[in-house]
Amino acid sequence: MRKESNIKYGIIFTSALIIEICSTFYIRFTAEANTIGMVFFAFIGPFLALPFAGYMVESKFWNERIKMAFALALGYAIGALVVNNIIKI
């Protein structure tokens, strides 16, 4: 049971990381008026949220929700750093 819980937070972290990177590319394609790229990232966005949305809904306790929020925050923050480094290249 404990290992499953750790995997859940890893999935939430990874999902947030990917969403942050993809949302930045969505904004970039929108700013560049690249319709195909914009529609692609707009389409896949909701599917990227599925892994952690299910965990958030089924969570019954606040301590679990707070741990999930930390996993999300860490994923988004590291995703922002990744994107920042990609832009600099």
Residue pair 48/16 in contact by the 8 Å Cβ criterion:
no
Residue pair 71/9 in contact by the 8 Å Cβ criterion:
yes
Q: pTM for this structure?
A: 0.80
State the chain's mean pLDDT as an integer. Answer: 86
Residue pair 19/48 in contact by the 8 Å Cβ criterion:
yes
Quick: pLDDT tens for 13-26. Answer: 998 999 998 888 88
DSSP code, position 1: -
User: Is residue 30 predicted with pLDDT exceeding 60?
Assistant: yes
Q: 58 or 1: which carries more pLDDT confidence? A: 58
Rounded CA-CA distance 12/68 in Å is 7
